[in-house]
Amino acid sequence: MTKYTTINQMPEEDRPYEKCLRMGAECLTDSELLAVLLRTGTKGSPSVEMAEEVLKLSKDKEGLLGLHQLSLAQLQAVKGIGKVKAIQIKCIGELSKRIATATAKKGLSFRHPASIADYYMEQLRHEEQELLICMMLDTKNHLLGDEMIFKGTVNSSLANPREIFLSAVSYHAVGILLVHNHPSGDCTPSQADVDFTQRVKEAGELLGIPLLDHIIIGDCKYLSFREQGIF
């Protein structure tokens, strides 16, 4: 494969901008898409080559999925990536998550756990720590709001349901749903998950704010406690 030092040295039909105009953005490779957004490379390192180096950075997830996990410092370690380009790349990742969330919100239904999983999937599946989100519902099953209650693991920071119901009461919620992620990508509940969910369910029954479901988010998959009959 010929290595070009600038975009202008590439055959015109292979240049990302021209290729996009001729064939459409869907025909660009991941590195070409990123190159278009980076706009310019540096001497000896065209934007496509720079984009390829960025996509190789993540050890755990290949390609575009890894962008969510990269820090500004990691990005700036790539030749030609300064603070501005690093911030652009981080914003691209965040924008993709928000687009996915906004799209999923249109089909959000609290009777269908899959729609809830879709709504939080892009927000949670890239996280390297467990996050617990509480969704607060009104009498008509409308979402009053959601809050991240804990960040950590079930064995430690999720040990006390108190914070969940403090938030629920502040929203005047009549029902709650819990959503949390497994960074491993495996959404199988641990015994700690099951025990904690049971404690929250029992506390909700006492307070008159029932727990309607607990959904665990994995990598493009989910598990609903209600669907599985776990509680």
CATH number at residue 165: 3.40.140.10
Reduce the DSSP state of residue 196 to 3 states and report it. helix
Q: Which residues of 183-205 are buried (b: 16+ CB within 10 A; e: fewer)?
A: beeebebeeebeebbebbbebbe
The answer to whether residue 203 sits within a structural domain is: yes
Whether 170 and 113 share a structural domain = yes
The answer to whether residue 2 sits within a structural domain is: no
Whether 94 and 30 share a structural domain = yes
Reduce the DSSP state of residue 3 to 3 states and report it. coil
Whether 203 and 142 share a structural domain = yes
Domain boundary among 101, 135, 164: 101
Whether 69 and 24 share a structural domain = yes
Whether 129 and 206 share a structural domain = yes
Domain boundary among 58, 75, 101: 101
Whether 77 and 124 share a structural domain = no
Whether 96 and 118 share a structural domain = no
Whether 32 and 128 share a structural domain = no
Residues of the domain holding 220: 107-228
pLDDT at position 106 is 64
CA diameter of the chain: 71
Reduce the DSSP state of residue 217 to 3 states and report it. strand
Identify the CA nearest to 118 among candidates 141, 132, 134, 101. 101
pLDDT at position 5 is 45
pTM recorded for the entire structure:
0.64
| Paired residues of 146 in beta bridges | 135
CA distances for 18 relative to 3, 26, 38, 141, 231, angstroms = 19, 13, 15, 49, 56
Whether 63 and 167 share a structural domain = no
Q: Is 172 exposed, middle or buried (0-12, 13-18, 19+ CB in 10 A)?
A: exposed
Strands 211-217 and 175-181: parallel
Domain boundary among 55, 76, 101: 101
Whether 138 and 206 share a structural domain = yes
Contact 196, 154 (CB under 8 A): yes
Residue 212 exposure: Cα atoms within 13 Å on the Cβ side: 22
Whether 170 and 218 share a structural domain = yes
pLDDT at position 1 is 46
The answer to whether residue 207 sits within a structural domain is: yes
The answer to whether residue 1 sits within a structural domain is: no
Into how many domains does the chain fold? 2
pLDDT per residue, tens digit, the chain (231 aa), is 455 545 555 655 567 778 888 888 888 888 888 888 777 655 556 778 888 888 888 655 566 767 777 888 888 888 888 898 888 888 887 887 777 767 666 657 778 899 899 889 988 988 888 999 999 999 888 888 899 988 876 554 455 788 899 999 999 999 999 999 999 999 999 998 999 999 999 999 999 999 999 999 998 899 999 999 987
Whether 49 and 112 share a structural domain = no
Q: Is 52 exposed, middle or buried (0-12, 13-18, 19+ CB in 10 A)?
A: middle
What span, in angstroms and rounded, lies between the C-alpha atoms of 52 and 36?
12
DSSP 114-153: HHHHHHHHHHHTT-SSEEEEEEEE-TTS-EEEEEEEEEE-
